[in-house]
Amino acid sequence: QVQMVASGGGVVQPGRSLRLSCTASGFTLSGYGMHWVRQAPGKGLEWVAVIWYDGNNKYYIDSVKGRFTISRDTSKNTLYLQMSSLRAEDTAVYYCARDATVGVTHDAFDIWGQGTKVTVSS
Amino acid sequence: SYVLTQPPSVSAAPGKTATITCGGNNIGNKGVHWYQQKSGQAPVLVIYYDIDRPSGIPERFSGSNSGNTATLTISRVEAGDEADYYCQVWDSHVVFGGGTKLTVL
């Protein structure tokens, strides 16, 4: 069964760090573009970051550049989002999502993780 | 940056047709994807590249895209279709519309 399970969320103080994980099963991460998308409480979806299918290119929305890092470990078939210098406005449910087509990054997201909740609060 | 505009809410009675629009500058030149998100759940892809349906998505869901507006149409609306719907495109990065809440009357 093709699925992704996100984990690592929690309550963290402003300025601290947190690492989110997204473990894939039923498919191999390498070859697929992988994304993080977040949703603040009561708000819409906001794309956060992408790592290209080849693992060589990474892009971020402006508000997290320099603070968040997307990466993957193909041996563990796991996607990560390292978040540092966290702010209250980073509070959201974070979803991992897969590009639908092998070798294509600018694609629809066909598989989503269940989400992991991050709360930044003192 | 590229902006996608959706109506905040749409309603339809069971058995009727719901139409959700997504406006953007020359969006007809882009591939548009649509997601359904039910309360407390992760989004689900319902239409990709304007008109295609993933396997398992009912034929009642259809899409179109031309000019400055893309449209998601849900025919013969059912109670289970009540959800938030988001359009999405690629510009310089991934862009989502603000979402539309479909209420089934």
Torsions phi, psi of B26, nearest 5? 55, 40
User: In Å, what is the CA distance from A30 to each residue of A37, A41, A98, B6?
Assistant: 19, 32, 11, 34
**Is 90 exceeded by the pLDDT of residue A36?**
yes
Task: Give the Cβ contact number of residue A72 at 10 Å.
Answer: 19
Q: How far is Cα A117 from Cα A9, in angstroms, rounded to an integer?
A: 5
Instruction: Enter the tokens of residue B63.
Output: 């899409």
Tokens of B38: 């039910």
Distance CA A38, CA A92 (A): 6
The pairs formed by A87-90 with CB atoms below 8 angstroms and a separation of 24 or more are: A87/A14, A87/A120, A88/A14, A88/A120, A88/A121, A89/A40, A89/A63, A89/A120, A90/A38, A90/A64, A90/A118, A90/A120
In whole numbers, what is the pLDDT of chain A averaged over residues? Answer: 96
| Number of CB atoms found within 10 A of residue A95's CB | 25
Residue of chain B nearest A43, judged by CA positions: B98
Confidence of residue B92 (pLDDT cuts 50, 70, 90): confident
Instruction: Label residues B39-66 b or e (16+ Cβ within 10 Å = b).
Output: eeebbbbbbbebeebeeebeeebbbebe
Q: In this predicted model, what pLDDT tens digit does every residue of A69-78 receive, in sequence order?
A: 999 999 999 9
| Residue A85 to chain B, least CA–CA distance (Å) | 23
Q: Smallest Cβ distance to B48: which of A35, A108, A115? A: A108
* Min distance A21 CA to chain B CA atoms (Å): 16
Chain A environment of B48 (Cβ under 8 Å) = 100, 108, 110
Q: What percent of chain B has pLDDT over 70?
A: 100
The answer, yes or no, to whether residue B78 has pLDDT greater than 90, is: yes
Residues 6+ away with beta carbon under 8 Å from A30: A53, A55, A72, A74
The arithmetic mean of pLDDT across residues B3-20, rounded, is 98
Whether residue A100 lies within 8 A of chain B, CB to CB, comes out as: yes
Neighbours of A74 (CB within 10 A): 12
Mean per-residue pLDDT of chain B: 97
Kindly report, residue by residue over A45-87, the tens digit of the pLDDT: 999 999 999 998 999 999 999 999 999 999 999 999 999 999 9
The pLDDT, as a whole number, for residue A97 is 97
Start-to-end C-alpha separation, chain B: 36
* Contact at CB, B96 and A45, closer than 8 angstroms: yes
Q: Which residue has the tokens 């997504």?
A: B22
Dihedral in degrees, nearest 10, Cα atoms A63, B31, A71, A97 = 100
**Average confidence (pLDDT) over B27-31:** 97
Tokens of A99: 């590009």
- For residue A104, is pLDDT > 90? no
Nearest to B96 among A46, A59, A112 (CB): A46
pLDDT of A103 reads 86
Q: Are A59 and B93 within 8 A, CB to CB?
A: yes
**CB contact (8 A) between residue B93 and residue A108:** no
Q: Do B35 and A45 touch (CB under 8 A)?
A: yes
pLDDT of A105 reads 79
* Disruptive mutation site among B94, B95, B96, B101 for chain A (greatest number of A CBs within 10 Å): B94
Q: What is the pLDDT of residues B49-68, one digit of tens each?
A: 999 999 999 999 999 999 99
At B19, the amino acid letter reads: T
Contact (CB<8Å) A47/B95: yes
Contact A45 B48 (CB under 8 A): no
